[in-house]
Structure 1
Amino acid sequence: MTDVTRPQALRYGRAALAVSFFAQGVLFALLVTRIPAIQDRYGISDGLLPVFLAAVPILAGVGSVLTEQLVKRVRPSVVLRWVQPVVGLVLVGLGAGDRMWVAAVTLALFGVCVGGLDASMNMLGVSLQRAWGQSIMLGFHAAYSLGGIVGASLAWSGAHWHFALFSLYGPAVLVLIPLTLTASRWYRDQEPDDGAGGGPVVPYGPEPAGAADRGPGRPSTARPGASSGPQQVVMRMLLPLCLVMAFAYIGDSTVSNWSAKYLQDTLHSSDQLSTVPYAVYMVTTLIGRAVGDQGVRRFGAVTVVRLGTVVAMAGFAVVAVAPGAWVGMLGFTLLGLGLCVIVPQTFAAAGRMFPDASDSAIARLNIFNYVGFLVGSPLVGALGDAWSYRGAMLVPMVLVGATLLYARSFAAGPAGYGVGHERPRTADVG
């Protein structure tokens, strides 16, 4: 079945969710790329700044836990529909304030809401992929990467032209909130027969006001098994994917936090050239995710994850031994192409592993996104100071390489998928 012949509800749901991923990429980039300006505006000391930055992923983990409980009562699309505008408004509030307590409150709210946003987006992505019958998860994360590039470009423009934070954040949010609220009319949640059988699907698109907000008494639209299975068994089965998620984000945070410093201090590049590796990393991440779904469909998730892991390890190795800046940038290019496939496929694998409880599995898995982000940067910094930054680059290489030990966790399970991530060609999806 081609994309054109799939039900309109699925195609609209896919496009709408891609808009949400794109918007989240923009919003997150607008925050992280303007951390120095936020620090200056609020007078946050260098000693206190790490506390503020660490609080964001910690509270995002809390938000993911809360979302797991919330989606037992309302659909993930409801959470996503309303939490994404809140993230935008919180960002505007951060740009408008000038007192320390405002920074503390807005960054705390941003963390909690981002946790709910990431969890609900990936819940919808996994259930939509199941109904689609082919790998499309990497495409959603490609939209996120594109949003990150747009957000970083806007932030660069704001810094170049000396825009105040409110002048930067306000117009961006003024565009993104109506865009995501409009797209949310076509979000599509999981249906009881979204599994292997390829039964009919019912969109959670435009519907009567208040219908999407029904609580525990709503009819058969509730997703089955949202809390099924002993908690210990679920976590034990999910643990390999949790470790893969954490290791992937340790690798990602190493690039985002240390690439510029590494190029300038260790490889002796110019100040301008040191800003290039992360931009190259983001572009190659976008490219890898844009074509990655085709690779999964053709060769299967296990092969793609293994290849991505090997490429990422090669990237860290090249960075560690690079004699100069240009070879170092080659290493960061390889890192973008390798790491980009791991996180989306980890979410997809959790959905296959727990087809009747994917929302809970994804919410728990999403916590390890923030664990990796929280651990990665301090780990590399401490090793770099105590040992050497070249040697420090080998540690995330080894951790990411552990994904090879767990690659079989990405295999297609009994959920009805055929070769790779596709259902058999004879199945009529939708």
Structure 2
Amino acid sequence: MTAPRGPGSQARYGRVALALSFFVQGTVFALLVTRIPAIQDRYGISDAVLPAFLAAVPVLAGVGSVLTEQLVRRVRPSRVLRGVQPVVCLALLAAGVAGSMAQAAVALAVFGLAVGALDAAMNMLGVSLQRAYGRSIMLGFHAAYSLGGIAGASLAWAGAHWQLSLAVLYGPVVAVLVPVAVVAGRWFVDGPTAVATEQGGTGAASGGAAAASMRLLLPLCLVMACAYIGDSTVSNWSAKYLQDVLGSSEQLATVPYNVYMITTLLGRAVGDLGVRRFGAVAVVRAGAVVAAGGFAVVAAAPGAWAGMAGFTLLGLGLCVIVPQTFAAAGRLAYERDGAGAADGAIARLNIFNYVGFLVGSPLVGALGDAWSYRGAMLVPMLLVLVTLVCARAFGPSGARYGDVHERPRTADVG
């Protein structure tokens, strides 16, 4: 077997540029979600209306992802990402400086639509770059997103601590991030799909092939939704659970989400090495078991510190599942229908990101009120274990990455 050639300088620059894009998006999204109470206070949004505002963002993001599937049949994913990332940043600023609730609603609607397109396009480029590299690099991109999330949450904490207005907080950050996004966008690298599109090809699978591809993707769609149910449980309920159920102080209750984000970053930073050594299937299975163990520890925790240990396990377990699900979707579609189908598969899969986000928080809240919050934590635990049933969709059990384990004429992206 001939050893595969390493990626060229263009792909390496593209990798760095895309990592910057993931970082920018992580920062912006964290700045929005961590300052929701300040947005609510600024525009006088009642507690009854707030859930509609919050639900509208992921719903519109799903619409944006669907539209992106159609758009990338005509233009390169890099152009989509290059165009929408500054829009996302400016929409964040608009949500903080709008003059009325109606204007803020419009800004959040634009944010939602643009985020859906951005998430889909970023992961399309990540999967195509991984195919070019011939080894796992997808977790590294999502590690950059986690790092951006930590940076954004830290900036939000500083803004709250110093009682800065949203305009004062968001303005300088956006003034820095927009130029970073624009400069990074000059170095984005598209995969084979873009070549087919530029040469006048369809750039996408036919209707019948797309339907077949969707049936193939169903296990991965289920995994994606379950993973985000787990993620939204941590982001929305960890503080309340620690304080109300485990009796922690208000200050200590803010720690679990930060710990979760840090362990997510650490797990993703080293996760690609694990995939290259043991294969995607083994890593995803291990992640599902660790995440389920984390939920079990949280549900049974006798006190706050044991609960934080559970949330630490959750970060280490869940962090590998989402990036590998995107990678596996791209690989399956590519192997079945060619390069043109991979981008569409990723856009369709991305919708289930928002499905899980929408379902997770209300599900745990309803079960907690009707039953108990300890019992409610067992539901995302069981849902995460669905990944074990669907693990074969992530590729052959013996799949490996790197020069030693490459398979001939196979596009390894997951």
TM-score range, shorter chain: over 0.9
Q: Could you tell me whether the CA contact under 8 Å between 2:72 and 2:203 is conserved in 1? A: no
- Among all aligned residue pairs of Structure 1 and Structure 2, give the percentage whose two residues are the same amino acid: 70
Aligned CA RMSD, in angstroms, stands at: 2.3
Identify which of 269, 273, 282 aligns with 2:248.
269
Q: In terms of mean alpha carbon deviation, does 303-312 or 94-103 score higher?
A: 94-103
Quote the residue 2:386 is aligned against.
Answer: 402
The AA in structure 1 aligned to 2:357 is F
Q: In terms of mean alpha carbon deviation, does 169-178 or 331-340 score higher?
A: 169-178
Displacement after TM superposition at 1:55 (Å):
0.5
Q: Could you tell me whether the CA contact under 8 Å between 2:6 and 2:133 is conserved in 1? A: no
Structure 2 counterparts to residues 68-87 of structure 1, below 5 A: 68-87=69-88
Quote the residue 1:29 is aligned against.
Answer: 30
Displacement after TM superposition at 1:76 (Å):
0.3
Displacement after TM superposition at 1:219 (Å):
2.3
Q: Could you tell me whether the CA contact under 8 Å between 2:68 and 2:117 is conserved in 1? A: yes
Quote the residue 2:399 is aligned against.
Answer: 419
Q: Could you tell me whether the CA contact under 8 Å between 1:72 and 1:227 is conserved in 2? A: no
Structure 2 counterparts to residues 4-403 of structure 1, below 5 A: 6-191=7-192, 218-219=198-199, 224-227=203-206, 229-355=208-334, 356=338, 357-403=341-387
Tell me the SS of whatever aligns to 1:281: helix
Tell me the distance in 2 between the aligned counterparts of 1:339 and 1:112.
26
Tell me the SS of whatever aligns to 1:95: helix
Q: Could you tell me whether the CA contact under 8 Å between 1:41 and 1:98 is conserved in 2? A: no
Q: Could you tell me whether the CA contact under 8 Å between 2:61 and 2:113 is conserved in 1? A: yes
Q: TM-score, normalised by structure 2?
A: 0.93
Q: Could you tell me whether the CA contact under 8 Å between 1:3 and 1:11 is conserved in 2? A: no
Deviations 1:37-81 (A, max 9, x none): 000000000000000000000000000000000000100000000
Tell me the SS of whatever aligns to 1:230: helix
Tell me the distance in 1 between the aligned counterparts of 2:95 and 2:3.
45
Q: TM-score, normalised by structure 1?
A: 0.90
The AA in structure 1 aligned to 2:353 is N
Q: Could you tell me whether the CA contact under 8 Å between 1:18 and 1:140 is conserved in 2? A: yes
The AA in structure 2 aligned to 1:97 is A
Displacement after TM superposition at 1:427 (Å):
6.8
Residue 421 to residue 228, structure 1, CA distance change in 2 (3 Å): farther
Displacement after TM superposition at 1:191 (Å):
1.7
Tell me the distance in 2 between the aligned counterparts of 1:91 and 1:50.
18
Tell me the distance in 1 between the aligned counterparts of 2:215 and 2:21.
31
Tell me the distance in 1 between the aligned counterparts of 2:360 and 2:74.
34
Q: Could you tell me whether the CA contact under 8 Å between 1:21 and 1:140 is conserved in 2? A: yes
Tell me the distance in 2 between the aligned counterparts of 1:232 and 1:115.
21
Tell me the SS of whatever aligns to 1:73: coil
* Aligned structure 1 segments of 4 or more residues deviating by more than 2 angstroms: 1-6, 222-232, 418-430
Residue 372 to residue 429, structure 1, CA distance change in 2 (3 Å): closer
Aligned positions, number: 404
Tell me the SS of whatever aligns to 2:247: coil
Q: In terms of mean alpha carbon deviation, does 420-429 or 402-411 score higher?
A: 420-429
Deviations 1:291-349 (A, max 9, x none): 00000000000000000000000000000000000000000000000000000000000
Displacement after TM superposition at 1:234 (Å):
1.8
The AA in structure 2 aligned to 1:314 is G
Tell me the distance in 2 between the aligned counterparts of 1:377 and 1:155.
22
Deviations 1:342-368 (A, max 9, x none): 000000000110112110000000000
Tell me the SS of whatever aligns to 2:250: coil
Q: Could you tell me whether the CA contact under 8 Å between 2:96 and 2:104 is conserved in 1? A: no
Q: Could you tell me whether the CA contact under 8 Å between 1:412 and 1:421 is conserved in 2? A: no
Structure 2: runs of 5 or more not aligned: none
Tell me the distance in 2 between the aligned counterparts of 1:64 and 1:426.
32
Displacement after TM superposition at 1:36 (Å):
0.1
Displacement after TM superposition at 1:420 (Å):
2.2
Tell me the distance in 1 between the aligned counterparts of 2:3 and 2:293.
36
The AA in structure 2 aligned to 1:41 is R
Structure 1: runs of 5 or more not aligned: 195-201, 203-214
